[in-house]
Structure formats: structure tokens, C-alpha cells
Chains A and B, each alone.
Chain A
């Protein structure tokens, strides 16, 4: 699986596509990303959709609370992709 940096870059790119005006450059990777970037539930679901389609990683709904920050999400994806 991809290394942390590549994965982080990939996620930020996906967020940019979904919410083009979100300020991903200044995102604190340990803050709640939905709050920081003002992503609504639809944006978040679309992010999970692209992760599922492009990385073949299916994140179940019960795990949403484990992926609230960018760092958590990267770690989570790495862990289950391994």
C-alpha cells in the first residue's frame, strides 16, 4: 500500500475535487476535518465513495468515528489495506 505522504496527498486531492474551495493547504491533520473544511455529510460520503472506488477500501458506517481527522483517516486506510 501507498506510504503516508502519498495517501495524504491523495485524500487532499479528493477533497479538493469534491469541495473545490476548501482550504486544504492549511488543514491541521489532527483537527476534525469536517469542521475545519466545512464538509457536510454529503461531501463526506462522496469522499468515502472515491476512497472505495479508487483504493478499493470500503469503510463501514460504524467506523466513521475513527476517521474524523486526516491523520486518523490515513492510519485507518493503511491498517485495513495491509
Chain B
């Protein structure tokens, strides 16, 4: 049995809200399936599952705020026999002290219909798992009429406290009383629109505080050193222009795709910049998962990983970048994108400043800054000529590497960008 917990999408996250469940007890899930949408201050994130198995229980309702690390569901791994569900001391719903969590469908508030309830199919699924059924009955008893009523209304009666029937069984009167309380609670809340507006402001403030916490920790603990190198893009742009000439807009590449490919391939050759510094030692990562710092238009930023970036060509890199920007705006980045970055790129875009010296995102050990692509007077073979360049910077952790290594990394990126045909 495996317990699925509220994931962390970065050192700056304390809790998340299960905005929606895509699964119900009895469902078979496969590694990589999106099982829930988690709402954080960084927006909505799709949560993946990392094992193949059958969903045993959803421990929290859609709409619940849950601290990072708290159990939210249990999974029976494939090949595993149904086992006794471990006793959960208190259900997170009780713990959250939020009795106003909407528990029934079709309410007028802006909540999505909860799916974590055990509707009739679920009951069928549970009955094929006799041990589980027994375990749940030990936690709470319910009369058939009360259970029917609860299921009709579509909420999880297991989350209710003990009832007034024999041995603390929940009876019909308890269910009805609960719904009455729920309704008056809902009526008392502020109008929905105003509420979400306040929530948005709070989110913005929370994100600011979270960024503050991370960068402060970084600057307090990581002895940064900085390097900067101007890189001519003459060859890269020539290659790009030639490639794009024959392409419709949807297949054209941006210079960023080439730059990111060069960075990823260089990092593969310099593993001391790609990994994590934890417990006083550096652990290199096996793959380069390039964290792309995306500026959110409404304020703040988030870092989304481009997995196995060193294996991508400019064309596949471009597809990833485009797809990620669209999903970041729509709120459909996935959990692994939020968690897996082994190094970060901060890119000011082609209209930003000339260069950026970044703050390392702990526990990573390097951040590569990409400045504005711009035209400058450039000296080559004693001749001054106009050349389009980019200033690339490296902020690195001096506990792991020295300036000499950093200079070699930047030099490697430069070399790769001078032979763009080799990036494909």
C-alpha cells in the first residue's frame, strides 16, 4: 500500500488545496496519470501518480486545504494484495477545521463537484476489498438509511464525527442535521466574486513572501560567484533564418530553442553545475532537467522543468517551450515539471535588460542568466563590425565549483552556439 501525500512544488510551498480529484476509489491508475488538480499560490498544478495501482481511498475532499506531506489518498500497488487500511488518527477534513467545505453536489458556490465521495460504483469496488470494508466499519458505523441519504447527496459520511445512534452510529437525523448546518454556513459566506478577489490578492502576497523566503535562504546559505560572457549569435541566427524561411509560423523556431539546447548539452559535460547540494555534500543529477523560470504576467514567477533537455533537438525543444508557456498560463503544469529541475535558466526575453546575474534556487547549485539578444559593435580579427550577441551569465555555488570551472562551462555553451548544426 502506498500513501499519496500533498506534494511540494518548491521549498516555498507550505500547503495546497485539492481543487479537483480525477480519480475515485476503485479506479486503476498508471504511472504518469493526472490524478488531481492542486491549487497553490502559483496557480493550478496537475498532480501525477508515480506508481501503477488501484485507488483505495481518498482521504480529503475536493476543496480541502492540506499541509505539504499530509496523506491525501491511498493506493494499492499493482500485484499487491488488499491490506488493512492503516488507522488514520483523524481525517484531514476534521483537522482542517473548515466545516464549510462544500460536501454536496450542485451547490451554488464556485466549487467543482466533489468526486471523492463514495457513490454506488465505489461501494461495489469496496466490496471487492473485504479487508478495507472492515477497517472502515471499525472507524464509523452508519445506518443504511443514513448511508443512502449521504450517498444520494454525494458526500463522504466517513468524514462525519460519531453519530447519535447505538455505538456512535450515524443515523438519518445526524445526516439531516449536518446538511442544515452546512446550508446556514454557506449562506453566511461573503459573495463569491468578492471572495475570489480577496483570495487573488492574498495569493499574490503569499507568492511574494514565498519568493522572499527562498531568495533570502539562497543568499544566506549559498556563497554565489558570478561570471559573464558575451556570445556572438551570428552563426546561430544564420542557421535559424535559413531554417525558418521554409517553415510556416507554427513550425518556426525561436533563438531561445537553440540557446537552451546549447546550455543543456554543455551542462551534461559539466555535471558539477547540475544537481543538488544537500546535507553538506553535492549530488550530481543524472539527467539535465532544465528549470525554465517563467515570468507570470500577473506577477511573480515559477520554474518549470524541461525534462531530459540534453536529449532534445532545437525542434523538440521549441515544442516543449511553447507547450509549457501555454500550459503555465492555463494552469496545467504538472507536478513533475514543478519538482524536477536540476538547474535553472533565467531569461529576460528579447526586450529585457542586457544581462542578468541571478539568485540560485536551492538546493540547486547554478543558475544561468540569459540577457536580451542585441546588436553591438564587435571586434573580430582586428575589425569592428556589428554583431548580434547575447550576454550569458552564470551564478554558481562556490562550495561546489570554482570560477575556473564556471568559465569552462560558459565557454562550452559559446562553442556549441557557434556550430548550431551540431545541436540537431
Tell me if chain B binds chain A: yes
Residue numbers of A with Cβ under 8 A of B are 19-22, 34-35, 38, 40-42, 45-46, 48-49, 51-53, 58-62
Complex CA distance for A35 and B350, rounded to whole angstroms: 11
How far apart are A68's CB and chain B's nearest CB, in angstroms? 12
A35 touching B351 by the CB < 8 A rule?
Answer: yes
Question: Does B398 lie at the interface of the complex (its beta carbon under 8 Å from any beta carbon of A)?
Answer: no
Question: Does B235 lie at the interface of the complex (its beta carbon under 8 Å from any beta carbon of A)?
Answer: no
A34 touching B351 by the CB < 8 A rule?
Answer: yes
Chain B positions within 8 Å of A62 at CB level: 241
A52 touching B256 by the CB < 8 A rule?
Answer: no
Query: A52: nearest residue on chain B (CB-CB)?
Result: B249
Chain B positions within 8 Å of A60 at CB level: 245
Given A40-B349, A42-B321, list of 14 further CB < 8 A pairs?
A19-B297, A35-B351, A40-B350, A42-B256, A42-B325, A45-B252, A45-B322, A46-B322, A48-B249, A49-B250, A51-B249, A52-B249, A61-B244, A61-B245
A41 touching B350 by the CB < 8 A rule?
Answer: yes
A52 touching B245 by the CB < 8 A rule?
Answer: no
Chain B positions within 8 Å of A34 at CB level: 351
Partner of A61, one of B241, B322, B325, B351: B241
A42 touching B297 by the CB < 8 A rule?
Answer: no
Instruction: Report whether over half of chain A's contact residues are helix, strand or loop; otherwise say mixed.
Output: helix
Query: A19: nearest residue on chain B (CB-CB)?
Result: B297
Complex CA distance for A62 and B325, rounded to whole angstroms: 25
Query: A53: nearest residue on chain B (CB-CB)?
Result: B250
A58 touching B248 by the CB < 8 A rule?
Answer: yes
B297 touching A58 by the CB < 8 A rule?
Answer: no
Chain A positions within 8 Å of B131 at CB level: none
* A–B pairs, 17, beta carbons within 8 Å: A21-B297, A21-B298, A38-B297, A40-B351, A41-B256, A42-B254, A42-B256, A45-B322, A46-B322, A49-B250, A51-B249, A52-B248, A52-B249, A52-B250, A61-B241, A61-B252, A62-B241
Complex CA distance for A52 and B247, rounded to whole angstroms: 12
Question: Does B329 lie at the interface of the complex (its beta carbon under 8 Å from any beta carbon of A)?
Answer: yes
How far apart are B157's CB and chain A's nearest CB, in angstroms? 41
Query: B253: nearest residue on chain A (CB-CB)?
Result: A45
Instruction: Tell me how many residue pairs across A and B have CB atoms closer than 8 Å.
Output: 43
Query: B326: nearest residue on chain A (CB-CB)?
Result: A46
Chain B positions within 8 Å of A21 at CB level: 297-298
How far apart are B350's CB and chain A's nearest CB, in angstroms? 5
Query: B256: nearest residue on chain A (CB-CB)?
Result: A41
For B231-253 the 0/1 string (1 means CB < 8 A from A) is 00000000001001100111010
Complex CA distance for A59 and B350, rounded to whole angstroms: 20
Residue in A41, A59, A62 whose Cβ sees the most chain B Cβ within 10 Å: A41
Complex CA distance for A19 and B297, rounded to whole angstroms: 8
Chain A positions within 8 Å of B329 at CB level: 20
Chain B positions within 8 Å of A41 at CB level: 254-256, 349-350
Chain B positions within 8 Å of A59 at CB level: 249
How far apart are B347's CB and chain A's nearest CB, in angstroms? 9
For B296-318 the 0/1 string (1 means CB < 8 A from A) is 01100000000000000000000
Chain B positions within 8 Å of A48 at CB level: 249
- Check A45/B249 contact, CB under 8 A, given A21-B298, A38-B297, A61-B241: yes
How far apart are A50's CB and chain B's nearest CB, in angstroms? 9
Chain B positions within 8 Å of A51 at CB level: 249
Chain A positions within 8 Å of B322 at CB level: 42, 45-46
A45 touching B297 by the CB < 8 A rule?
Answer: no
Residue in A38, A42, A45, A60 whose Cβ sees the most chain B Cβ within 10 Å: A42
Query: B322: nearest residue on chain A (CB-CB)?
Result: A42
How far apart are B221's CB and chain A's nearest CB, in angstroms? 32
How far apart are B282's CB and chain A's nearest CB, in angstroms? 34
For B194-223 the 0/1 string (1 means CB < 8 A from A) is 000000000000000000000000000000
How far apart are A52's CB and chain B's nearest CB, in angstroms? 5
Query: 6 closest A-B pairs (Cβ-Cβ)?
Result: A48-B249, A49-B249, A40-B349, A52-B249, A49-B250, A61-B244
Complex CA distance for A41 and B298, rounded to whole angstroms: 18
